[in-house]
Structure 1
C-alpha cells in the first residue's frame, strides 16, 4: 500500500470535485470477493477491483469503501473474519487498524453498511456506483441496494465515472515508480525468453519461461501473455505449436508491481536469431512507425494524431514494398492500410493494463472534442483524445498478413485501387509483427519507461547471437 495520506488525499479530491458539480449522497466502492473456479473453496487467484485499490488500497476480499459527500468523510467496511478464517488463512489486522492504514475517518461492520445504505435510500439520498463488471459484485449490490439484478445499473453515476477517470488518468511519481517496478520484471521476462528462443522450442516452453520469471519475481501477469509464432492472430493465447527456423516469435506480455500497477511490452524476434530479408523489411517499417509515433507524444497532442502518424508510416513502407499503391494520403484516407494494421495504436496504462476500461472505453479515451471513427481499423482506437502531462500510454503499431481478411477484401473489392493483392499474397505465410513500449507524458514531451529491451534489428540479432554463443559454450 501507499501511505494513508495518499488515499485520503485521493478521496478528498474526488469528494471536492463532485461536490463542486452539485452532487450529493454516498459513493459506494465494493471490493471484490473471491471467485470460485469449480467449487466454493477453490478460487481463482484474487485480484482486487482497481478503483477500490486506488481509493482505499486494501488488497483482500470482503471490503467496501464509502465516501459520504454530504459529511465529507470516508468509511471503511470489513465483513470481518471468523475463527475458521483465522485457522485456514491467518488473522488480519482489526477493522480499526485497517481503516487507519487507508486514512478512512470511520469504519464499521457489514450491518452498519447495510443500515447506512438502507437509510440513504429511505431518505432519497443519491447513491453513486461505478459500472459493474463482475457477477459476484452485482449480486452483492443487489443485496445491499435491495434491488433487481439489472436495477443495480441505475445507480451507475456518470459524474462519478468522469471524475474517477480524471483522477486515475494522471499518474503521480509514486505511480510511475510502480509501473517501472513492473517493467523491471518485464525486462527479465524478455531477457529470459530471448535466451530460450531457438528452432525446436515450443510456444509452451517459452510461455513457461515468462510465467516462471513472474513467479520468481513475486509478481503476476497483468494479462494473459501472448507467446506465438503466429503473430497475425492478434490475441493468440494458444501455446501448442513448435517454432522453426524462419519463424517470427511475437511476445506481448506484462507484469504487475507490488501495488498492482501494470506493464505492457511487445517484442517480435526471429526464432533462428537472424531476420530474413522480407522480415527485416517489414520489421523496419513497424519500428519506424513506432518511433515516429513515440516522438510525437507530448501534452496537448491528440493521440489520434500519433495513430495517424504510425498509419502513414506503415502505408508508406508497404507502398515501397509494392503491397500498396497510390498516394500515401489517399491510402490512409481510404483505410486501405488497415488491412495490415487493423487495430489502434495503444491505450492508457495504470492499475489496469487497459487502464479504466471497465469504466467505459469512451469515458477514458474520448471526450466532447472527438468521437469514435466508424472506419475499419480506426474504430478500434481505444485512446484518441489529447494527451496530458502524467498520462502513461502504450505505443504498439503492428503489421499483419491475415490470409482470411486478405481473401475477403479481395473478393469484395475493398480498397482494390490501393492494394496489390497478388503482391500481398506473397506474404500469406509471413505472420505478424508488433512492437510496444510504455510512455510517460512529461511537461514538455515524453519518456520511454523501463530498461531498454532490444528492438532494433541489430540489437535483437546481436542479443540473440550472444545468447546462442553462451548456450553453445555451456554445452
Structure 2
C-alpha cells in the first residue's frame, strides 16, 4: 500500500492537469462527477448490483457507494461529497481514512436528495459527468457529458499513470491465482460451475466484484465466444477447457484467457502453437506500431496454423484475403484495458474526438490506435470451430479449401484462445500475466 500511496500523489496531479486543460478548452468552471445511483429491478423492491461510474473511480478507489460526487476543476483540491445516510436496513459506509483521503476535501451527505446544497452554485457553467441525465437536469446542469471534454478524457485515459499500472499488476496477480486454481479444478474433474466457485474462492472476489462475467467453457462450449451458462453437470467426456476470467484491484481490471486440453493430442499441440504465435505478436508491440497492423499479422499467423494443422489448403496470404481466417478467428486481437475491461479510447486518433473506425472486413476489432508508452492492452488471438461462420464457407468456392474431416475432429473441443495483459513501455513490453506466473 505504501507504493500505491507514493504513486497516488502524482496520479491525482495528472488527473487535475487533464481536467484543467479540458475545462479551459470549453470555458467551463469544472466537472461534477457522479458515482452513480442504484437501479431498481422491474416490479421488485431490490436493486441491481451497483457499478460505479468509471470516471469517478479514476480519481478514487471508492467502488461500492452510490450517491457520491466529485467536484474538480483542475486547480483546487478535489471535493468529495460522500454519501453516508442514517440507515438501519443496510451497512453504512465508514468515513474513509486511507491513503487517498488527504488529497480530497470530504463533505458528508446524509440524504441523497439534498446534494444540491453541497454542489457549486453556478451549475450552469459546470459539466455533469455521469449516466443519470434526468437527475443532472433537475439539479440545474445544462452541460452533461460534453463531447469535447469526454473525447479529451478518453483519449488521455489510455496513457496510464504509475499508480494505475501498479493497480493493473495487482489485478493480474490476483487473477493468476484464480486461473491456477481453475486449471487444477479442470484436471480434477470439476464442472463449469465448480470451476467458477474455485476460481472465485482463489481470487477472493464475488461474482459482482470481478470485472466481468467469467467465461468457463468445457468442450464445444468454447466455440461460444461469450459463453456464461456454467453447466452444473459434467459432459460425458472431458476434452478441453477455455477460461476467460479476470479480477479487480481498486477498480482496475485483469482480463486473462487460457485454454487446456485434458489429454495430449493434436488439440493440445494447437494450443501450444497458438501460444507461441501470441508471444510472437506481443514481441511486435512497441510505440509507433499500429494495432491494426498487429491484428492483420495475427490473421497471417492463424492462416499458417490452419495450414500446419491440416484445416485448410492454399497459401496463408490467400486464406486471409478470401476471409477464410475470419471464419476461424472472428473477433479483434485485443483491446485497451484499465478502469473498464474494454477500456475507452481504442479508436481515438487525438483528444479532439477524431476516431479511426475498424475496417469493414474486421468490424469487431476494438482498437485501431497507434501504440504509445504506458498503454495497456490485451493480446488474445483465437481459433475456433464455429459452425454458423463455417457454413458461409461451405456455400461458395472457399469450401473446397477447408478440410472438413479435420474440422469435424476438432469441433468437440470448441476452440482455443490465449490472452495476456501487456504494458507497452518505451523500450520493452511488460507481460503482466506471464510475469505473475501464468504460463
* TM-score after normalising by structure 2: 0.84
Q: CA deviation at 1:262?
A: 1.1
**2:383 is the alignment partner of 1:399:** yes
The equivalent residue for 1:472 is none
Shift of 1:145: 3.8
**Alpha-carbon RMSD:** 3.5
1:140 and 2:132 matched: no
Indicate the residue corresponding to 1:433 in structure 2.
416
Q: CA deviation at 1:43?
A: 4.2
How far is 1:115 from its partner?
8.0
Matched, 1:329 2:317: yes
Matches within 5 A, 1:304-343: 304-343=292-331
Unaligned regions of 5+ residues in structure 1, if any?
148-153, 456-475
Match of 2:123 in 1: 120
Among candidates 358, 364, 385, match of residue 380 of structure 1:
364
Q: Is 1:232–1:400's contact at 8 Å kept on the other side of the alignment?
A: yes
Structure showing the higher helix proportion among its residues = 1
Aligned pair count? 426
Q: Which residue of 2 aligns with 1:270?
A: 261
Partner of 2:224: 233
| Runs of 4 or more above 6 Å deviation | 38-41, 97-100, 216-219, 364-367
1:183 and 2:172 matched: yes
- CA distance in 1 between counterparts of 2:35 and 2:410 reads 48
Residue 79 and residue 284 in structure 1: after superposition, are their counterparts in 2 closer, same or farther (change >3 A)? closer
Work out whether residues 392 and 438 of structure 1, in 8 Å CA contact, stay in contact via their aligned partners in 2: yes
State the Cα distance separating 1:102 from its structure 2 match: 6.0
Residue of structure 2 in register with 1:26 after alignment = 30
Mean Cα deviation higher: 319-328 or 294-303 = 319-328
**Distance in structure 2 (CA, Å) of the matches to 1:113 and 1:245:** 61
1:343 is paired with a residue whose SS is coil
Structure 2: which 5+ runs fail to align? none
1:211 matched to which residue of 2? 200
- The separation in 2 between residues aligned to 1:238 and 1:16, in whole angstroms, is 46
Superimposed CA distance per residue, residues 36-73 of structure 1 (whole angstroms, 9 cap, x where no aligned partner): 4578874444442221011244342221112247x766
Change (3 A) 1:23 1:8: same
Gap change, CA 1:16 and 1:321, over 3 Å in 2: same
Distance 1:364 1:392, change over 3 A: farther
Contact 1:250 1:269 in 2 (8 A): yes
Give the distance between the partners of 2:102 and 2:213, measured in 1 at CA: 30
Query: Per the alignment, in what secondary structure is the counterpart of residue 255 of structure 1?
Result: strand
Question: Which has the higher mean CA deviation after the structures are superposed, 312-321 or 39-48?
Answer: 39-48
CA gap of 1:333–1:350, structure 2 versus 1, over 3 A, is same
- 1:194 is aligned to 183
Aligned pairs for 1:14-93 (under 5 A) are 14-19=18-23, 21-36=25-40, 42-59=46-63, 60-68=65-73, 74-82=78-86, 84=87, 88-90=90-92, 92-93=94-95
TM-superposed deviation, 1:192: 1.5
Q: For the Cα contact (< 8 Å) 2:128–2:141, is it kept in 1?
A: no
Whether 1:296 and 2:268 are equivalent positions in the alignment is: no
Quick one: structure 1 residues 426 and 436, their matched pair in 2 at CA, closer, same or farther if it must change by over 3 Å?
A: same
Deviations 1:132-185 (A, max 9, x none): 3xxxx34432432478xxxxxx73322212222233212222222212212222
Inter-partner Cα distance in structure 1 for 2:184 and 2:415: 21
| Between 242-251 and 381-390, the greater mean CA deviation after superposition | 242-251
Q: Flag the 1:76–1:334 CA change in 2: closer, same or farther, 3 A.
A: same
2:95 counterpart SS class = coil
